Structure 1
Amino acid sequence: MRINKILFTLLFLSLMLGACKKQSSTVIDNKQIADYDVKYAKGFTVNKMQGYTIVEVRNPWDTTLLLQKYILVDRDKEIPANLPQGTLIKIPVQSAITSSTIHCSTLKEIGALDIVRGVCELQYIKLDEIQNGVKNGAIKDLGLVNKVDIETIIMLEPEVIFTSPISGQSYGNIEKAKAPLIETIDYTEPDPLGRAEWIRFYSLFTGTESLADSLFDITVKNYNEVKAIVANVTTRPTVFTDMKYQSNWNQPGGKSYMANMLADAGADYVWKDDSSTGFLPLSFEAVLDKAGEADLWLIKYFAPETMTYESLKNEFKSYSYFNAFKTRNVFACNTQFSPYYEDLPIHPDWILKDMAYVFHPDLFPDYQPKYYSKVRE
């Protein structure tokens, strides 16, 4: 009887070892089990493998290099053997720190705002869930990104930290937390829909891929519908943007996402022939020379008071030299009250429609703008 038990035990162990060996070999094969089509974004790629997902973020400042390589593994399953090199993340993520309002807005959009345990730059976050969470202590205010409260971050023990890298700048103390940095470079995408597609990137970490895919499809549909309405307009108003800050006046590069949005909205952007994808730091004189006769002027500003032509002139008298000022064709968005910056990355379709209405109001007779309004006397 004892010999039979020993034989049964040996047989059982042999079967178990065989099953484990078979499971391990499928992982070693690195078999891709599903296609993942990134349609517009250039900054990330996804490969769905057996037992894990590879997410790569390219370096936007040197496209021959990777910025990050994440290996995503279901938190409720065994970690597969022989994973490729990369930063291991168990998904769905259950706790996170965010370093900008855009991270919070995107997480809210995909139903994952509840993972946020701490935020930077609280003063710029307009979401009631975050503001109320800080008031009741459920979410910690970590201060400014460049002066982050690292002791509180370490105490919170977040599984990940969402960050937005800037070329040539380090993260400083935030790296002492030892939590993986989820680096989002959506703002470097030249295509507005490419930037919006980063909602799908976030969803890979939060387990909300189906929701993100459906939301992104709606954005693409709405954006292309507005674009089609203005595609054949015979007259495109010339336009320039924003205001000078100290000695520079940053205008969007001619191949940047904002320049592309202005074109898609039916405008003739003054710097459309420029080849850069970033911003052009220009002097006031250079802007006046190029945009002095432009038809329209779009401004974003942050202030407790609504902009008027008088306040614009009081801020800098020479603004009154522009044709758009003289003809009263200045349109402004006060970002202290408007969620422009929160919506732009994930809802370019909404902002595109506002712009198209400004440029061609006759094509959108029943539309009520959400962001831009004509500056009053």
Structure 2
Amino acid sequence: MSLSLRTVALLAATALTVGGVAACSSDSPGASGAAGADCITDFDPAIDYFPDKQSVEYAQNFDIEYHNSYQVLTVRQPGQPDEAYVLTKCGAPAPDLSGDLANAQQVATPVSDLFAESTTHLPSLEALGKLDVLTGFASADFVYSDAAREHFADTGVVQFATAGQVDAEAVVAHAPQALVTGGFTDPAFAVIERSKIPVLDNYDWLETDPLGRAEWIKFFAALTGTEKQAAETFDGIVAEYDKYTDLAAATAPAPIVPGLPYQGGWSVPLASYSNALYGTAHITHPWMSEPGTGSLQTDLETVFAKAGAIPLAISTSAATTVAEALAAEPRLAEFAAFRDGQVWTSSARATDAGALDIYEQGVLRPDLVVADLIAIAHPELLPGHEFTFYRRLQ
């Protein structure tokens, strides 16, 4: 993708870097607002500038290592080489790096000018009180959070992937301190990196442990200097999740029909994030112990043969009524769950455009998801439960 002369000129005028790290000067993005206030003003190499350190306990796909004035944030994708990013405290000199880190992308922290690609990133920034650092987002079309949507409208956040692909020119023209990806490759990333804008991979969606996925809040805490807030928030989520784990531990697993058909196919979870949530809530289905990971693509006939008589169905679907589900696939009426009126979908919090909060807030708050699932499958354990994400189709 080629860049206009206007964009190249703008980049040259605005992208101030020192040794690959955004400088903490009055002209740099990191110098304004809260980030500027947190910059080191009298650097001493003997001082540890990270009094609140994070440890990663549940997530498998990132780690954080501390040095006096910088962090090494390592992100991994199974089957691919690890990717390391150097996060240097604003006001400190660029560290002298060697070996695998010699060519690592570097970011001055805390950031005050960040682009992010996935809706799963929004709850972490919101919980950390750092939505204000978000200056660019892929597309507002499928965002559920009212706070995020208001922030986009009030501040003119750059939408850089409204057509599904990243617009490199839009990113380079703004020149953010960093762009956090949604965990998928895009040809634009190479162009953005060549423009000295760090592109940081985020693989939260690859975590199969619900707490591991929620723990990516610490990734954003490392970027925004909110380690203490992240620890308090995450520890509270773990405590709630453990409470619901203990609550369901003595119950017999409740069988369900997993999912609903979509465009002629039916996806059922194997060893996956969904099955981990089901297991915690003591829910099972006929494919629970099947080998493999991710999901199995099958058809309605196969699902009906194995699960048609099960009187409960749970789906992360946007369907809001029985009529809507049956209009898409009339044969669902033959399932016991439809006959008994026990079909639940995660559409309780949805926008008219189809954004589901279970794919947003639900990623950070698996405790709320598990509470809903327990109340569906074992209602006697949570009488009077107020559902967050799920609703029973009427």
TM-score calculated relative to the size of structure 1: 0.83
Say which of 87, 92, 99 aligns to 1:72: 87
1:295–1:329: 8 Å Cα contact kept in structure 2? yes
Tell whether the 8 Å contact from 2:166 to 2:186 is kept in structure 1 after alignment: no
- 2:337 pairs with 1:320: no
**The one of 129, 134, 139 aligned to 1:116:** 134
Q: Which of 235, 239, 242 is matched with 1:221 structurally? A: 239
- Measured in 2, the distance between the counterparts of 1:368 and 1:133 equals 28
SS in structure 2 of the partner of residue 244 of structure 1: coil
Residue identity opposite 1:251 in structure 2: V
Which residue is equivalent to 1:282?
Answer: 298
- Which residue of the other structure, out of 226, 234, 258, is the alignment partner of 1:241? 258
Which residue identity lines up with residue 315 of structure 2 in the other structure?
I
Letter in structure 2 aligned against 1:100: S
Q: Is the contact made by 1:242 and 1:298 (CA closer than 8 Å) also made in structure 2?
A: yes
Deviations 1:27-65 (A, max 9, x none): 9xxxx99985321111112211233211111122x06x2
Give how far 1:128 is off. 3.0
Distance 1:367 1:277 in 2: 32
| Residue in 2 that maps onto 1:272 | 288
CA distance in structure 1 between the partners assigned to 2:163 and 2:177 by the alignment? 18
Pairing 1:81–2:96 present = yes
Q: Which amino acid aligns with 1:348?
A: P
What SS does the aligned partner of 2:360 have? helix
- In the TM superposition, 1:1-377 aligns within 5 A as 37-60=55-78, 62=79, 65-66=81-82, 68-82=83-97, 84-85=101-102, 86-144=104-162, 146-166=164-184, 170-178=185-193, 179-233=197-251, 235-253=252-270, 255-302=271-318, 306-308=320-322, 310-334=323-347, 336-337=350-351, 339-376=357-394
- CA distance in structure 2 between the aligned counterparts of 1:264 and 1:301, rounded to whole angstroms: 20
Q: What letter corresponds to residue 308 of structure 2 in structure 1?
A: G
CA contact (8 A) 2:269 2:295 kept: yes
Pair 143,116 (structure 1): closer, same or farther in 2 beyond 3 Å: same
- Contact 1:72–1:90 (CA<8 Å) still a contact in 2? yes
AA matched with 1:269 = H
Alpha-carbon deviation of 1:151? 2.5
Rounded Cα–Cα distance in structure 2 between residues aligned with 1:202 and 1:269: 35
Residue 76 of structure 1 aligns to a residue whose secondary structure is: coil
Letter in 1 for 2:301: E
Q: Which of the pair has more CA radius of gyration?
A: 1
Distance of aligned partners of 1:76 and 1:132 in 2 relative to their CA distance in 1, 3 Å threshold: same
Deviations along 1:136-183, whole A, 9 cap, x unmatched?
4531222436333332222211111111223xxx31224422321221
User: Aligned partners of 1:320, 1:193: CA distance in 2, in Å?
Assistant: 36
> Does 1 or 2 have the higher relative contact order (CA < 8 Å, sep 6+)?
2
| Counterpart contact for 1:119–1:142, Cα < 8 Å | yes
1:99-139 C-alpha deviation (Å, 9 max, x unpaired): 12111222111111111112112111123343234434531
Q: Which amino acid aligns with 2:278?
A: L
Q: For 1:37 and 1:147, how far apart are their aligned partners in 2?
A: 34
User: For the Cα contact (< 8 Å) 2:87–2:107, is it kept in 1?
Assistant: yes
Q: Please, what TM-score do these two structures have when normalized by structure 2?
A: 0.79
Between the aligned residues of both structures, percent identity stands at 25
How many correspondences in the alignment? Answer: 338
Q: Are the equivalent residues in 1 in contact too, given 2:189–2:199 (CA < 8 A)?
A: no
Distance 1:366 1:78, change over 3 A: same
1:121·1:143 contact (CA, 8 Å) conserved in 2?
yes
For the residues of structure 1 that align with 2:84 and 2:77, how far apart are their CA atoms?
Answer: 11
> SS at the partner of 1:97?
strand
In the alignment, the residues of structure 2 paired with residue 35 and residue 141 of structure 1 have an alpha-carbon distance, to the nearest angstrom, of 33
8 Å Cα contact 1:240/1:251 also seen in 2: no
Q: Which whole-Å CA distance do the structure 1 matches of 2:52 and 2:150 have between them?
A: 41
CA shift in 2, pair 1:121/1:287, >3 Å: farther
Partner Cα separation in structure 2 for residue 34 and residue 346 of structure 1: 21
Q: Distance in 2 between matches of 1:137 and 1:230?
A: 44
Which amino acid counterpart does residue 243 of structure 1 have in structure 2?
Answer: L
Distance in 2 (CA, whole Å) between partners of 1:312 and 1:127 is: 26
SS in 2 for 1:147: coil
- For 2:53 and 2:230, the matched residues in 1 are separated by 17
Counterpart residue identity of residue 52, structure 1: Y
5+ unaligned residues in a row in structure 1: which ranges?
1-22
